[in-house]
Structure 1
């Protein structure tokens, strides 16, 4: 296929041809225009080659710097390495994202950025989805989407800040569909059993930590990293500075829990500002082993610490709390996450409808 385009009186020639290469048959796209360096790239699919050629011509027509030289000079590994060095250290999820990016690097890191096409990305993502998870099965769509997000941001930075690409090819790769979020919460008997097991734990903080999680919906990290400067022992207000979504928020402790914290404050080590310090006083206590033992002793099936957050939200929903109210308590920016608990307030919804619509149907 050959396309001749006339812009500002100057002709450019774009061609897409099927050629034999060391890796088999591929599609070569070329764009030539007087006064510009010839641009060329290879693709697995003809549609990608044609799209690339159109992109090159559009950029030239718009007066942009001819693309291709930087994209052909740098590999995806170059972009990932620079991102890991310059951007990743400031991210809360740095450890996880570094591992995710290392997988992308091993799969397609040797490709020049000009060769990182939709087809290559899809094939690499399929390889990731076929990896075995910790439980032996393939990794979930949600996990694959986290890998997607990690590389997507690398390529966004490569476009916006490094200037090595004109467009992010990851935008053409859609996220996989994820199942509705898990909602596992403690029923009354399970709650009693778990708290009883926690009260017997050798870890002096475990019961208080679990109570805070159940009654506030705070995440484990948010609880363990609490320091006394963020806890008002008079009003019970707690300020969370480092939240998962990056926004500051506050919550309130119930009086019985506040009384527990007041006792802990009297006993706190002078060299630690943490509410739940480890042995050194400089890092939060590790509750992993104590938590697993308590869950086992309580006889809970398929229950994780994060499910205490689901428990808090579920209790609010079952007591008539609305989706916006649940979102406010949990610190969600949108209502999407909180909406998974909406079905638990069906009885409350029924009561509201019966009360509000009482007379609409007359005497019926």
Structure 2
């Protein structure tokens, strides 16, 4: 809705919010107008075109801090600059860009990119890296003055933790790329480009058959003794049997489980919506949980608080892994071990990537040595067969 009248305090107060933005144009000064949002916020703007016909709509201020008379005075001053060929709004943007710092850019990266487009967990990690690693080092540096040497020095300071260094580098590269698209830096000026990533050492522990059996026996003992909650031991068993991530198991809902088709429909994982197979042993565990009189109607792994799923498992895991003689093993290593078992059975890397729902083939490469071991074992079998055929004794 829009109309024209002379803007006064009485007019502004009388203009009530509607379902959409309301624009009230000033009849005295062309371009000056009041905008009232559906939330009731009232602000003054001044619309004009530059000498090269670019449209501008700078905000003058909010009512009641800014009265219509003062807004009109500000707009007249801007109009005078425009008549002399200047672009007051554009100049202000340029001044803000000149004064912007790395911290300014990263704040906008979080609000305009990470929060709308990335998962909450990823945004939380980005915010941690910004607050703990980046801003203390270069946050106060003027954005337009940042050079490759500044980024290289920061990354070099993190060389003892290559995974962390690479994550910081990737975040900065994306942020400075956005700075170019936002007009905060010249095109093709990304200072993070060309800085070499560190080689990352493969992380993760792969349980062998004996270690897996030990862990399973400890879980059996705990269930029989009743010293650990069934939700915890069931969650660990499911991690071992399905290769899923911890949060995918802990936040599993009964509506995600399709017993008839033998699948889990996971709507919100690290790689988006996925469907994964439900092995027979895992299905038996789920059926036992479902038949428990104290089962939660929504959550598979119920927590201590009614109506909530289990969240705190690390302390119990540390006790159980110690009992099994697996002090160095992380919960996430159960997923790695699942992948290792799959490779030992002859799955190809692409097949394993699909099974574990990896987003990038690079992630699956950590299991390549299992593929090599399988090929070596296959070659030995072929050699033995040829030895029989040719009569070789060795």
The normalised TM-score by structure 2 is 0.65
Is 1:314 aligned to 2:340, yes or no?
yes
What does residue 71 of structure 2 align with? none
Instruction: Kindly indicate whether the alpha-carbon contact (under 8 Å) linking 2:152 and 2:195 is maintained by their aligned counterparts in 1.
Output: yes
What does residue 251 of structure 1 align with? 276
Instruction: Kindly indicate whether the alpha-carbon contact (under 8 Å) linking 2:349 and 2:371 is maintained by their aligned counterparts in 1.
Output: no
Q: C-alpha separation between the residues in 2 aligned to 1:324 and 1:109?
A: 41
Using the TM superposition, give the Cα deviation of residue 86 of structure 1 relative to its aligned residue in structure 2, in angstroms: 3.3
Using the TM superposition, give the Cα deviation of residue 266 of structure 1 relative to its aligned residue in structure 2, in angstroms: 3.2
Q: C-alpha separation between the residues in 2 aligned to 1:209 and 1:240?
A: 16
What does residue 195 of structure 2 align with? 173
Is 1:263 aligned to 2:288, yes or no?
yes
Gaps of 5+ in 1: 1-64, 130-137
Distance 1:296 1:95, change over 3 A: same
What does residue 212 of structure 1 align with? 238
Q: C-alpha separation between the residues in 1 aligned to 2:326 and 2:338?
A: 17
The normalised TM-score by structure 1 is 0.70
Q: 2:177 aligns with which of 156, 159, 166?
A: 156
Instruction: Kindly indicate whether the alpha-carbon contact (under 8 Å) linking 2:318 and 2:327 is maintained by their aligned counterparts in 1.
Output: no
SS at 1:248 equivalent: strand
Using the TM superposition, give the Cα deviation of residue 298 of structure 1 relative to its aligned residue in structure 2, in angstroms: 0.7
Distance 1:81 1:337, change over 3 A: closer
SS at 2:275 equivalent: strand
Distance 1:335 1:282, change over 3 A: same
Using the TM superposition, give the Cα deviation of residue 213 of structure 1 relative to its aligned residue in structure 2, in angstroms: 1.7
1:97-124 superposed Cα distances (whole Å, 9 cap, x missing partner): 1111112111111111111100111122
SS at 1:291 equivalent: helix
What does residue 141 of structure 2 align with? 111
Instruction: Kindly indicate whether the alpha-carbon contact (under 8 Å) linking 1:217 and 1:330 is maintained by their aligned counterparts in 2.
Output: yes
Q: C-alpha separation between the residues in 1 aligned to 2:138 and 2:249?
A: 39
Q: C-alpha separation between the residues in 2 aligned to 1:151 and 1:266?
A: 50
The higher radius of gyration belongs to: 2
Gaps of 5+ in 2: 1-89
Distance 1:84 1:269, change over 3 A: farther
Distance 1:268 1:153, change over 3 A: farther
Q: 2:370 aligns with which of 331, 344, 359?
A: 344
Q: How many pairs were matched up?
A: 286
Does 142-151 or 259-268 show the bigger shift? 259-268
SS at 2:268 equivalent: coil
What does residue 130 of structure 2 align with? 101
- Map residues 1-364 of structure 1 onto 2, 5 A cutoff: 71-90=97-116, 91=118, 92-102=121-131, 103-129=133-159, 138=160, 140-160=161-181, 162-165=182-185, 166=187, 167-179=189-201, 181-199=202-220, 200=222, 201-244=227-270, 246-267=271-292, 273-280=298-305, 281-346=307-372, 348-350=374-376
Q: C-alpha separation between the residues in 2 aligned to 1:198 and 1:153?
A: 44
Larger relative contact order, structure 1 or 2 (CA cutoff 8 Å, min sep 6): 1
SS at 1:337 equivalent: helix
